[in-house]
């Protein structure tokens, strides 16, 4: 380091290094968002060089601080920080910004770039992810720390802009963080008064500090976002708030978007487009940055390098953890297992045993009730299971006898999320990303709409999150069409990497839960009935086959028809089969609880379940169009579904009205057999 330079001068150079990496990468890509990195550069310097606890060589270190770029379009700021801090992200990677197969995608993607904690870009969700991370930290600390042994103690830091704050999910997330008193959560508001349409005065005039105080946050106002010392002072004040455990902190940083660009700073034009060669030259002059594109002087590079400091911190923690292991060997082993995301060794035997147990019980219950039974049994075996409901606990049936509540000062395992479906789902992603817990959340299936993009993000980020979505289809009954999800099961099936289960009885419900827990690379969503569904008899082979997503539930010597059904309609298919069998017509019934998993089976399995030369009838109380995928190739085929909204009436009356009766299914079946 050039010793002639003052701290302030070094900080200025650091900030400008971040600015120009962003400027140059966006210019090279001819695509991207320079405005935010240029506007938040000093805030980043203050946090990353003075406070952030991380080890660039060990990005997976369990007790690292979590950093979330909720305004993910400013990805180049994060890539610049990761590169200069010493993560495995090279200058060549940065030169490949936004190019095919590069590690520097347009928005930060977790699992794709070392040091990226969550995939952001869809505004507001990063903040909600961070709330989940801070909840996980707090709960894990309560569960594992012991007197004299603090092995969990880290912070969650968030960068966010006006866009995040306008989104509704920011309300859900901030309100939740307040009520849960997440004191180790610190958010930096990039208050630059510009959004894509221009100066926000015309569409965003909230008193944001007052709003966050109303949520129970500590709000630090009036910070100069371009003064590293002022930001540093605010961070230290936030740390003091943490020590007093008085809630999350919002640091309001006054900034200028595109700071440094003579012509474009402070304007929407710098948000999401390259500066252009002339303006870049002008900015180089204005900021006195004589270096070539992508060139960072060695001394600045060295001043950012966090590897030594990070390694020392991690080694210090490792020593503490070894002391913990010595004092609490079982806890330490459990902690290690939990943060690895491994299931207990008992799981391999337990999972099929639970399915067999449900089979033995042969209960006729609503699958939401069967899910509650499954949760209770799973929770006893899996201490990492952590979940709850968006204010429908006694409808979704998510609690269990010894669960205990999660509150600001209570450390149970059941979360009353409040009426916050989207915030819940995004926080579940945060919990899963943090590690240590296997999270689930619940609401009515129809309100999966509210949470939809966060469910998509679970799938995109390959997170093990289980969604418990009850009150499926018109079987919901009297609450009517606003609450009856007729299109939701098929529409959710279309989200890549999401496994949608619609079990037909308690046995399939247990199997669906098992699949969601066993899966490590994506979410599962369970669509569960309000109404009771009868038990279906199965052989051992059939019990094992459920996990294939589609299997033969009942067969005939020489079937003349295959009926495919899911959920509440499997019983109708079985009844139709009985009626036709009585007439000497052989029918195979295929239960298809998860089309997504069935699609991943090999061709031999698929052909064995759905041989090509037999007519097929699909039955599902949902929008029917997707079923044609499973009917293609059959000599004749039809779907019994519902291609319109439901109505308000008792479930039985609706099933009758809309054609979901054994008689109607039998009739549709006959029409295919006797054309």
Task: Scan residues 212-231 and list those touching a copy of itself (CB under 8 A).
Answer: 213-216
Phi first, then psi: give them for residue 414, nearest 5 degrees.
-115, 130
In the complex, least distance from residue 73 CB atom to a copy of itself, rounded to whole angstroms: 8
Task: Kindly indicate which of the ranges 138-146, 210-218, 291-299, 372-380 contains the residues binding a copy of itself, using the contact rule CB under 8 A.
Answer: 210-218
Contacts of 599 (CB under 8 A, 6+ apart): 549
Task: Kindly indicate which of the ranges 46-54, 136-144, 583-591, 639-647 contains the residues binding a copy of itself, using the contact rule CB under 8 A.
Answer: 639-647
434 annotated as a binding-site residue: no
**Among 1, 210, 315, 671, contact with a copy of itself (rule: CB under 8 A):** 210
Would you say 28 or 141 has its CB closer to a copy of itself?
28
211 annotated as a binding-site residue: no
Pairing of strands 466-470, 616-619: unpaired
Would you say 289 or 598 has its CB closer to a copy of itself?
598
395 annotated as a binding-site residue: yes
Task: Scan residues 445-484 and list those touching a copy of itself (CB under 8 A).
Answer: 446-447, 449-450, 452-453, 456-457, 459-460, 477-483
Q: Binding string to a copy of itself for residues 482 to 521, with x set by CB under 8 A, is what?
A: xx--xx--xx-xxxxx------------------------
Regarding 206 and contact with a copy of itself (CB under 8 A), the answer is yes
CA distance 117 to 600: 29
Whether the CB-CB separation of 24 and 293 falls below 8 Å is answered with: yes
Q: Is 620 a catalytic residue?
A: no
**Among 72, 80, 503, 516, contact with a copy of itself (rule: CB under 8 A):** 72
**Among 11, 109, 143, 472, contact with a copy of itself (rule: CB under 8 A):** 109
3-state DSSP assignment of residue 591? strand
Regarding 417 and contact with a copy of itself (CB under 8 A), the answer is yes
**Among 57, 150, 204, 320, contact with a copy of itself (rule: CB under 8 A):** 204
447 annotated as a binding-site residue: yes
Pairing of strands 532-533, 561-565: unpaired
Contacts of 650 (CB under 8 A, 6+ apart): 477, 478
**Among 23, 36, 105, 500, contact with a copy of itself (rule: CB under 8 A):** 105
530 annotated as a binding-site residue: yes
Regarding 628 and contact with a copy of itself (CB under 8 A), the answer is yes
Regarding 207 and contact with a copy of itself (CB under 8 A), the answer is yes
Residue 407: closest CA among 398, 396, 415? 415
In the complex, least distance from residue 314 CB atom to a copy of itself, rounded to whole angstroms: 30
Task: Scan residues 164-183 and list those touching a copy of itself (CB under 8 A).
Answer: 164, 166-172, 175-176, 178-179
Contacts of 491 (CB under 8 A, 6+ apart): 623
Would you say 363 or 590 has its CB closer to a copy of itself?
590
> 402-422 burial, b if ≥16 CB within 10 A, otherwise e?
ebeebeeeeebbbbbbbebbb
Task: Kindly indicate which of the ranges 9-17, 114-122, 218-226, 351-359 contains the residues binding a copy of itself, using the contact rule CB under 8 A.
Answer: 114-122
Task: Scan residues 246-305 and list those touching a copy of itself (CB under 8 A).
Answer: none
Contacts of 517 (CB under 8 A, 6+ apart): 343, 347, 351, 378, 382, 385, 438, 464, 466
27, 137, 172, 421: which is the annotated catalytic residue?
421
Task: Number of residues interacting with a copy of itself: please give it, by CB under 8 A.
Answer: 111
CA distance 527 to 502: 5
516 annotated as a binding-site residue: no
Regarding 211 and contact with a copy of itself (CB under 8 A), the answer is yes
CA angle 523, 432, 137 (to 5 degrees): 165
Helix (H) or strand (E) holding 336, with range, is helix 329-340
Q: Binding string to a copy of itself for residues 360 to 399, with x set by CB under 8 A, is what?
A: -----------------------------x-xxxxx----
3-state DSSP assignment of residue 411? strand
Locate the DSSP E strands across 457-615: 466-470, 499-501, 524-528, 532-533, 551-554, 561-565, 587-591
CA distance 577 to 563: 8
User: Looking at the annotation, which residues are catalytic?
Assistant: 421
Instruction: Detail the residues annotated as belonging to a binding site for thiamine diphosphate.
Output: 73, 121-123, 163, 192, 271, 447
């Amino acid at each position: 380091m050039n010793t002639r330079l003052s701290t302030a001068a070094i900080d200025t150079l650091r900030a400008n290094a971040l600015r120009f990496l962003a400027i140059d990468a966006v210019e090279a890509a001819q695509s991207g968002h320079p405005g935010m990195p240029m506007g938040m550069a000093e805030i980043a310097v203050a946090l990353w060089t003075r406070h952030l606890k991380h080890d660039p060589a060990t990005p997976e270190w369990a007790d690292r601080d979590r950093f979330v770029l909720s305004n993910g379009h400013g990805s180049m700021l994060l890539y610049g920080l990761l590169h200069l801090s010493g993560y495995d992200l090279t200058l060549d990677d940065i030169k490949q910004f936004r190019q095919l197969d590069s590690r520097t995608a347009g928005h930060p993607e977790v699992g794709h770039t070392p040091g990226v904690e969550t995939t952001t870009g869809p505004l507001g969700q990063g903040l909600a992810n961070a709330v989940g991370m801070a909840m996980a930290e707090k709960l894990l600390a309560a569960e594992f720390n012991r007197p004299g042994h603090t092995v969990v103690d880290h912070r969650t830091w968030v960068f966010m802009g006006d866009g995040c704050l306008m989104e509704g999910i920011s309300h859900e997330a901030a309100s939740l963080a307040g009520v849960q008193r997440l004191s180790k959560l610190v958010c930096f508001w990039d208050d630059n008064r510009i959004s894509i349409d221009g100066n926000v005065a015309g569409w965003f005039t909230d008193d944001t500090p007052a709003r966050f105080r109303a949520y129970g946050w500590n709000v630090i106002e009036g910070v100069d976002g371009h003064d590293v010392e002022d930001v540093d002072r605010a961070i230290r004040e936030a740390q003091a708030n943490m020590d007093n455990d008085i809630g999350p902190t919002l640091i309001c940083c006054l900034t200028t978007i595109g700071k440094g660009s003579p012509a474009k700073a402070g304007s929407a034009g710098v948000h999401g487009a390259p500066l252009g060669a002339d303006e870049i030259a002008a900015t180089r002059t204005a900021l006195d940055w004589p270096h070539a594109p992508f060139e960072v002087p060695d001394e600045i590079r060295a001043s950012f390098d966090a590897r030594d400091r990070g390694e020392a911190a991690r080694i210090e923690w490792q020593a503490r953890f070894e002391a913990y292991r010595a004092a609490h060997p079982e806890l330490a082993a459990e902690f290690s297992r939990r943060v690895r995301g491994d299931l207990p060794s008992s799981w391999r035997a337990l999972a099929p045993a639970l399915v067999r147990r449900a089979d033995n019980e042969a209960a006729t219950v609503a699958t939401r009730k069967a899910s509650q039974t499954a949760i209770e049994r799973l929770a006893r075996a899996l201490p990492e299971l952590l979940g709850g409901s968006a204010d429908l606990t006694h409808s979704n049936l998510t609690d269990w006898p010894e669960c205990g509540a999660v509150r600001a000062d209570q450390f149970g395992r059941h979360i009353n999320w409040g009426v916050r479906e989207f915030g819940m789902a995004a926080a579940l992603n945060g919990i899963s990303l943090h590690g240590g817990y296997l999270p689930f959340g619940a609401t009515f299936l129809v309100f999966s709409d509210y949470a939809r993009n966060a469910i998509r993000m679970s799938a995109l980020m390959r997170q093990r999150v289980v969604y418990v979505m009850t009150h499926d289809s018109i079987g919901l009954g009297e609450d009517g069409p606003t609450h009856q999800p007729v299109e939701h099961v098929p529409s959710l099936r279309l989200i890549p990497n999401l496994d949608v289960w619609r079990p037909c009885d308690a046995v399939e419900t247990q199997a669906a839960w098992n699949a969601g827990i066993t899966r490590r690379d994506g979410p599962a969503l369970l669509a569960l009935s309000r109404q009771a569904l009868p038990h279906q008899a199965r052989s051992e082979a059939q019990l094992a086959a459920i996990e294939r997503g589609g299997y033969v539930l009942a067969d005939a010597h020489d079937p003349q028809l295959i009926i495919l059904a899911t959920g509440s309609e499997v019983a109708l298919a079985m009844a139709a089969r009985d009626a036709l069998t009585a007439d000497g017509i052989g029918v195979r019934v295929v239960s298809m609880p998860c089309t997504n998993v069935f699609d991943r089976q090999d061709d031999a399995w698929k052909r064995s379940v759905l041989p090509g030369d037999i007519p097929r009838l699909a039955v599902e109380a949902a929008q029917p169009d997707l079923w044609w995928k499973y009917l293609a190739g059959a000599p004749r085929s039809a779907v019994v579904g519902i291609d319109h909204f439901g109505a308000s009436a008792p479930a039985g009356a609706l099933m009758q009205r809309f054609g979901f009766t054994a008689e109607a299914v039998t009739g549709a079946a006959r029409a295919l057999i006797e054309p």
